[in-house]
Structure 1
Amino acid sequence: MMNVLRNRPHILPTCAAAVAVVLWASAFVSIRSAGDAYSPGALALGRLASGSLALGVIWAVRREGLPPRAAWRGILLSGLLWFGFYMVVLNWGEQQVDAGTAALVVNVGPLLIALLGTRLLGDPMPPRLLAGMAVSFAGAVTVGLSMSGGGGSSLLGVALCLLAAVAYASGVVAQKPALGRGSALQVTTFGCLVGAVACLPFAGQLVHQAAHAPVSATLNMVYLGVFPTALAFTTWAYALARTTASRMGATTYAVPALVVLMSWLALGEVPGALTLAGGVLCLAGVAVSRSRTRAGRTTRVAAGEPRPEKVS
């Protein structure tokens, strides 16, 4: 009981990160469905518009007000790079390559987050984090290779997924300082709104395609906006504000394993032994990267994580 109380400051951020990862994994299934009826830009705009509406209602009810001026640089950068550019390019890339190749290339993102976080934010790089990222990346490669279909890849698709990974990593690193000045809800709400505004050139496509799209595709697009965007990005921001960008990036290595499980349950795509082994490696690496040692607690507190409460 005392150990639970002592680690209480870490429980909520860990749960928040888990919610984000699970919802982002579910997004791959929904994108696959909605992508048959919507073009990449229209799907991104519809998703961001739905997310902005949901976030705007919560923001208004909570009366959190506008973010501080010092937070706007990070909000604008993350909104343009992560909410806007990333979603359009990823949607486009997944139309060019198979799911396994896309997962493999996009999972360069956590490595880029670690490098950028160390260089720009001064994030520490403890040995356990490096070891966990190496194990998870090996798992992501295994999942990607096992799921890749012969001849399903294209140079354009790989380049687009790589651009998506760079945008994702840059957006996370840009968002981290903003979370030190504004709340998770403020940063997420206005970041999503910035991304939606950036995608307005696709409004004509969205209107035209929505008139002909099946209801299931439109519902998937709304689901993407409300849950993997509004809810997941907010819980992600809450957790990111309480740990380092590098450690949060490593957490997303659980996504390929969860995508395999969800595809199995929702789409009936039975994974092979190699795919399952890769998924286990992904989860094992995340467990290692998020494990804590007594010597590492002081470093994480200095990096912005809350200090554990003393229990008398």
Structure 2
Amino acid sequence: MLEALLVTFLWSTSWVLIKLGLRADLPSLTFAGLRYCLAFVCLLPWLLGSPEHRATLRRLPRALWGQLLLYGIISYAVAQGAQFFSLGLLPSATVSLVLNLSPLAVAGLAAGLTRERPAGWQWVGVGLSAAGTLLYFLPLNLAGAGLVGLLAAGVGMLANAGASILGRAINARSGLSPLVVTTLSMGLGSWPMLAAGWLWQGPATLGPLQWAIIAWLAVVNTALAFTLWNRTLQTLSAVESSLMANTMLPQIVLLTWLCLGEAVGVKGIIGLVLVTLGVALVQWSSSGAQGAARDEGPGVPQASGE
């Protein structure tokens, strides 16, 4: 449990580091691409160093490579690219709240695809989340860049939801280990994101500070945190892992306030609490229906946006 909390803390500090990198004139898409390309390079030796994983790679069918490519594009190029872009335009708490709605979108998409009716507690969770979102944003005073940032965060949230469903389907049908899925999808998704950022925003001017931020995010907050999180999933139930993931929103709000001065008023805090409780109800109801099943995703809670 403590190890899982450490991982969520590391992921929460990512929001502070991303903001610092953006303030240091790192172009958002190039920044995100560099982070995940470097993290992919860090994970690759672990993947190729295992004879079992090398044999798995040799046996991968072309159709599965295509699914992993699509998954990588959605979960990294689109979802993470949108997150970094929106953080350049909006406060961290606002972006985190929008991304934290991903489990609600997952539940809605899953219900539409499988025709499963949401449980009673899930409806309560949806209602709480909707009330919290309205309380946080209304009256809506966004215009120009703020509105563009909110739209980008919404794209990231929907991409997170789609990636969650696609990732679970890949894991359920392929039997691949989380390390294989995450490393391959990260490599397949991060390099196109880096290329797009380079073409659209231009090359980044990287000094010691920028390199330090990118390296820490890639090595510690991505590669190391991924490894620790997957180890915790061997002992945590689905409910417990969801609980750990839901601690990230208050951690992000507190850290960005202390480190960046991004204060949230009383109304905003109440809205964030309602959204957190609502998302937790939706996740716990879903987890309870699945018993003690472990997270089938690639090792990163989709609600975090991390």
TM-score, length basis structure 1: 0.71
For 1:273-311, what per-residue CA distance to the aligned partner results, in whole angstroms no more than 9, with x for missing partners?
Answer: 334434443444455445579xx85x314x9559xxxxx
1:90 aligns with 2:77: no
Residue in structure 2 matched with residue 55 of structure 1 by the alignment: 43
Tell me how far 1:81 sits from its aligned partner: 0.6
State the distance in 1 between where 2:220 and 2:159 align. 21
Residue in structure 2 matched with residue 179 of structure 1 by the alignment: 171
State the distance in 2 between where 1:142 and 1:45 align. 34
CA contact (8 A) 1:131 1:285 kept: yes
CA distance change for structure 1 residues 95 and 267 in 2, over 3 Å: closer, same or farther? closer
Describe the SS at the equivalent of 1:167.
helix
CA contact (8 A) 2:79 2:156 kept: yes
Counterparts in 2 of 1:18-29, with a 5 A limit?
Answer: 21-29=8-16
In structure 2, what residue type is equivalent to 1:163? Answer: V
CA distance change for structure 1 residues 153 and 277 in 2, over 3 Å: closer, same or farther? same
Counterparts in 2 of 1:139-288, with a 5 A limit?
Answer: 139=132, 142=135, 153-180=145-172, 181-202=175-196, 204=198, 208-209=203-204, 212-232=205-225, 235=229, 254-285=247-278, 287-288=280-281
Aligned partner (choices 84, 107, 129) of residue 114 of structure 1: 107
Residue in structure 1 matched with residue 290 of structure 2 by the alignment: 300
CA contact (8 A) 1:52 1:189 kept: yes
Aligned partner (choices 33, 47, 54) of residue 45 of structure 1: 33
Residue in structure 1 matched with residue 19 of structure 2 by the alignment: 32
Q: CA RMSD in A?
A: 4.1
Give the stretch that moved more between structures: 214-223 or 119-128.
119-128
Describe the SS at the equivalent of 1:102.
helix
State the distance in 1 between where 2:96 and 2:133 align. 7
CA distance change for structure 1 residues 152 and 22 in 2, over 3 Å: closer, same or farther? farther
CA contact (8 A) 1:253 1:283 kept: yes
Residue in structure 2 matched with residue 135 of structure 1 by the alignment: 128
State the distance in 2 between where 1:26 and 1:149 align. 28
CA distance change for structure 1 residues 76 and 58 in 2, over 3 Å: closer, same or farther? same
Describe the SS at the equivalent of 2:26.
coil
CA distance change for structure 1 residues 270 and 112 in 2, over 3 Å: closer, same or farther? closer
State the distance in 1 between where 2:92 and 2:144 align. 9
Describe the SS at the equivalent of 2:80.
helix
Tell me how far 1:201 sits from its aligned partner: 1.8
CA contact (8 A) 2:242 2:280 kept: no
Describe the SS at the equivalent of 1:179.
helix
Give the stretch that moved more between structures: 48-57 or 280-289.
280-289
Describe the SS at the equivalent of 1:112.
helix
CA distance change for structure 1 residues 251 and 128 in 2, over 3 Å: closer, same or farther? farther
Query: Post-superposition, which runs of at least 4 consecutive aligned residues in structure 1 deviate over 6 A?
Result: 246-251
State the distance in 1 between where 2:161 and 2:251 align. 20
Give the stretch that moved more between structures: 62-71 or 178-187.
62-71
Gaps of 5+ in 2: 296-306
Tell me how far 1:193 sits from its aligned partner: 0.4
Number of equivalenced pairs: 284
State the distance in 1 between where 2:273 and 2:38 align. 34
Describe the SS at the equivalent of 2:290.
helix
TM-score, length basis structure 2: 0.72
CA contact (8 A) 2:92 2:253 kept: no
CA contact (8 A) 2:103 2:283 kept: no
State the distance in 2 between where 1:71 and 1:124 align. 30
1:126 aligns with 2:114: no
In structure 2, what residue type is equivalent to 1:258? Answer: Q
Residue in structure 2 matched with residue 6 of structure 1 by the alignment: none
